[in-house]
Amino acid sequence: MKQRDLRNLLLEQPVPGEHTAEERTWDVVRQSFLAREPVPRERRVPWRLLVALAIVAAGIAIGVTPAGSTIADWVRDKLGRDRVVSTEGQQVEPVLVRLPAPGQILTAAPNGVWVVNQDGSKRFVGEYIGATWSPNAQFVAAWNDNELVALDPALTEGNVHWSLARENISAARWAPSGFRVAYLSGASLRVVVGNGADDKLLERRVAPVAPAWRPGEEHVLAYADPDGRIFVVETDTGKVLWRTPRAPLPVALTWLNGEQLAVLTEQRLRIFRAPRQLVSAVDFPRRLFTATGMVGSPDGRELAYAVYSKRDGQGIVFVYNGRQSRQVFSGSGRFRDLAWSPDGRFLLVPWRAADQWLFMRMVGRSRVRVNTDIAGQFAPGEESAGPAAGFPRVEGWCCAEEEPLPPPPAGTGATETGTTETGATETGTAAGG
Amino acid sequence: MAGLSRDERAWIRAAQAGSVSDLEALFRHHWPRAYRAAYLVVHDHAAAEDIAQEAFLAAVRSLDSFDRDRPFGPWLHRIVINRAIDAARAKTARREVSGESYVAATDPMSMAGGNPFTPTEARAIAAGLVSLPPEQRAVVVLRYLLDYTPGEIAELLELPRGTVNSRLRRGLDALQEQLQEPEA
């Protein structure tokens, strides 16, 4: 075998997908290039000295300026308009009198899962560690370490419709159709029909991040693998529609609408459009910030996300509209479980460090309703465990009006009866509410 | 491997100044071999796309600090090959042999003309390349696809030159054996 012949063979051997991969990659590379912040080359060497001086100056500035001003400067410079909403002079409610928008809030406190009604009343759902709404809030999927249940939240210690025994359950999410529930069991991702039937393994190893169903009646799910790749999969067939390259593990995934997927890692917010085209990105300076949470607005036009300043312990909440981020709040501590009201008019910012819920009006005149002593309302007597020890995690805010159950699509198995591989208790009811 | 061309230097300089079209020229120039090299090492087109894409994204991230007097190709190929070796090792550990994509890739009927090998020989060599350990595969790809000398490969992979030579020798011997074996 001549070496020249081997060279020709390697050069001429057809490689599948070469040209389509080239176009996809060029899109990604171009977007990354456009999103970067070029450093003027001729200033590179003097910058080293200047950067060192700037770091010293920044350290001094942080020590003498009010908390948050450094963040605000960075936000103004890098992310767009600065619109910090102060809570001073705002309406402060000593207890949860009523929610400012229709719907019910689902929470997970140390003692279990609760529903908060619009009139401020609360109902204990059961001793679970996490929960998620069904699309129209007729059902709740709640879980403990070793059990996933679907129950009726309208009933105190809700009537359980079905249950599944699985290990280390977390991050269940109900599909918009109501006919599927995705959840993590240990490191694996599973999908079960909305009536508890036909529980199946979708992926053996995934990252510990809640999966995200694409809006619509089709059962399309986004999830992250342990290498930080995002997969978008038709769960009924297992077909991978598209996936992204390896990246740091995401903090959260959410669909902006049926077409764009937002992926938040600690250092970057990326928006992808199918198939895997990166349409925009926001980078957070590694040494200064780490992202902590994200949620999409109900109309899919905006998303709220939070970052945490490592230097001064401040959290900042932004709203991103696809073009720019605007800051809506900053305060001490980390903000994680943000929630939009179902009508999109309010953003709930649970502020653990202050033991408050902030309802931030997102349309019209800026307004904040502040509810205090949240931990004490959900877990009285937990004070000995530390400040805000009983502060609940917000699992979702849903829904303004109950809608009728969708008819079960043919072949979904939503009305299937019979024994499942899991031995789940079946009711024959499609939990599509 | 050819050194830094004037075009390449100009593309890098313009891209550093913000020119998308020059970045695209640089990308289009290097993509075919970067992707092909990754594919020939990892034998999985999706993984090859990931690897090549990550290498180009790394290039974009490092663009401002990139020394224009250094050739871009070796810098890119070092990332591609090292990641492809890692991916191929991981794949081997998971016992995932992507037979389907391999068959599609080596369909002799789709080979361009001008190759001295018969379709059977081409298939045998391609199969032989798959059967090599990832490290040997990488050295063969660097030498015969990307045209690096053994000395340059040693520098690229941070290996002793003797190791590169022995991997090349063993790789070529294995491919030769594949050619001599009767088709199954």
HEC readout, A181-242: EEEEECCEEEEEECCCCCCEEEECCCCCCCCEECCCCCCEEEEECCCCCEEEEECCCCEEEE
Task: Name the 3-class secondary structure at A316.
Answer: strand
Residues 6+ apart with CB under 8 A from A78: none
Q: In this structure, is the dihedral angle defined by the CA atoms of residues A152, A157, A163 and A168, taken in order, positive or negative? A: positive
Q: What is the pLDDT of residues A11-43, one digit of tens each?
A: 877 787 778 888 888 887 887 787 765 554 444
Distance from C-alpha of A420 to C-alpha of A199, rounded to nearest angstrom: 7
Q: Which residue of B has its CA nearest to A242?
A: B46
pLDDT, residue A218, reads 92
Residue B52 above 80 pLDDT?
Answer: yes
pLDDT, residue A48, reads 54
Q: What is the pLDDT of residues A93-111, one digit of tens each?
A: 556 678 999 999 999 999 8
Confidence of residue A321 (pLDDT cuts 50, 70, 90): confident
Distance from C-alpha of B169 to C-alpha of B171, rounded to nearest angstrom: 5
Residue keyed to tokens 């590169």: B164
Residue A381 above 80 pLDDT?
Answer: no
Query: Could you tell me if A265 and A16 are in contact, meaning their C-beta atoms sit under 8 angstroms apart?
Result: no
Mean pLDDT score across all residues of chain B: 79
pLDDT, residue B46, reads 81
Residue A133 above 80 pLDDT?
Answer: yes
pLDDT, residue A60, reads 34
Q: What is the mean pLDDT of residues A1-6?
A: 73
Distance from C-alpha of A349 to C-alpha of A169, rounded to nearest angstrom: 26
Q: Which residue of A has its CA nearest to B104?
A: A16
Distance from C-alpha of B167 to C-alpha of B170, rounded to nearest angstrom: 5
Which positions in chain B touch A205 (Cβ < 8 Å)?
none
Site from B19, B53, B81 to mutate, A interface, most A CB atoms within 10 angstroms = B53
- The per-type count for chain A, helices as H runs and strands as E runs, is 5, 29
pLDDT, residue B103, reads 32
CA distance, residue B167 to nearest chain A CA (Å): 15
**Full-model pTM:** 0.59
Inter-chain touch B32–A18, beta carbons under 8 Å: yes
Residue A267 above 70 pLDDT?
Answer: yes
**DSSP state, residue B108:** G
Site from A12, A26, A33, A231 to mutate, B interface, most B CB atoms within 10 angstroms = A33
Q: Determine phi and psi for B181, rounding to 5 degrees.
A: -75, 140
Inter-chain touch B125–A17, beta carbons under 8 Å: no
Q: What is the pLDDT of residues A270-315, one digit of tens each?
A: 999 887 788 888 888 777 889 999 999 999 899 999 999 888 888 9
Give how far Cα A164 sits from Cα of A143, A193, A227, Å. 9, 11, 29
Query: Could you tell me if B52 and B35 are in contact, meaning their C-beta atoms sit under 8 angstroms apart?
Result: yes
**DSSP state, residue A80:** S
Query: Could you tell me if B26 and B72 are in contact, meaning their C-beta atoms sit under 8 angstroms apart?
Result: yes
Distance from C-alpha of A63 to C-alpha of A57, rounded to nearest angstrom: 10
Q: Determine phi and psi for A268, rounding to 5 degrees.
A: -155, 140
Q: Which of A376, A396, A333, A323 is nearest to A80 (CA)?
A: A323
Residue A75 above 80 pLDDT?
Answer: no
Helix H or strand E segment including A71: helix A69-78
pLDDT, residue A15, reads 81
pLDDT, residue B181, reads 61
Inter-chain touch B35–A15, beta carbons under 8 Å: yes
Which positions in chain A touch B50 (Cβ < 8 Å)?
229, 245-246
pLDDT, residue A386, reads 64
Confidence of residue B110 (pLDDT cuts 50, 70, 90): very low
Q: What is the ipTM of this complex?
A: 0.84
Q: Determine phi and psi for A147, rounding to 5 degrees.
A: -155, 135
Mean pLDDT score across all residues of chain A: 79
Residue B23 above 80 pLDDT?
Answer: yes
pLDDT, residue B113, reads 40
Q: What is the pLDDT of residues A399-422, one digit of tens each?
A: 855 443 344 444 333 332 222 222
